[in-house]
Structure 1
């Protein structure tokens, strides 16, 4: 997996533009601006996306939900490569944990939750509550899995208590 040289966002090979950057950074380079300005803008975008994620419908004491916006979802399809499949198959026979498969699942969860936060940010939410993660096997061989993250995008604010 390739990352953007300017903002560090993960990119597939088809998303890489000239200079090893994402589409947004490519456009920013064309418009001008220094590397430091672009780095600051990318850091601001990432900080803005970082939101509160809760698996419960209510916020902890000290925070009030002031508006429920809509249900947001993020999907992440990922495959196990031949070697992961091979070693996972051996683990099925002899028992034990498959570190490679666990790492793939962990990375997919991080990606799906980040995409969920981006989707919530896009509609103006500052938190997502009632998050649910669902894993679905896409192929009978078990080498392609879909992770769907869903939740309710909300606006919260600290209360006076």
Structure 2
């Protein structure tokens, strides 16, 4: 399946718009990571544990979006975007979404 952040796919023509494909995951922080992050906050620098947590969450949301696109029988998902929202203290949702299309 073709995944793109653009409105079209070069050298391809959109035949049909199938709807919105989406995938999300909600992740909570980990107490052990929070302790290490608190220490890192004093010293400064990147908090690798949270970077890895967010990267994994984005990848999972993207995979779920692609699965939703397959369910819609899409050839591609265009205009792909990511958004994040806080669900509660210490937990956030990552949402990947785009337009599922059939190509000629």
The answer to whether the superposition gives a TM-score over 0.5 is yes
Tell me which residue corresponds to 1:91.
Answer: 40
Quick one: higher RCO (CA 8 Å, sep 6+), 1 or 2?
2
Match of 2:9 among 54, 59, 64: 59
Is residue 97 of structure 2 the alignment partner of residue 150 of structure 1?
A: yes
RMSD: 1.2
Deviation readout 1:2-54 (Å, 9 max, x if unpaired): xxxxxxxxxxxxxxxxxxxxxxxxxxxxxxxxxxxxxxxxxxxxxxxxx1111
Q: Of the two, which has the highest radius of gyration? A: 1
Tell me which residue corresponds to 2:73.
Answer: 124
Report the structure, 1 or 2, having the larger helix content.
Answer: 1
**Count of aligned residue pairs for this structure pair:** 104
Report the structure, 1 or 2, having the larger strand content.
Answer: 2
TM-score (norm 2): 0.91
Deviation readout 1:59-105 (Å, 9 max, x if unpaired): 12x22211111012111101121111122222223210111111111
Q: Runs of 4+ in structure 1 displaced over 6 angstroms?
A: none
Q: Which 5+ residue runs of structure 2 have no aligned equivalent?
A: none
Q: Which 5+ residue runs of structure 1 have no aligned equivalent?
A: 1-50
TM-score (norm 1): 0.61
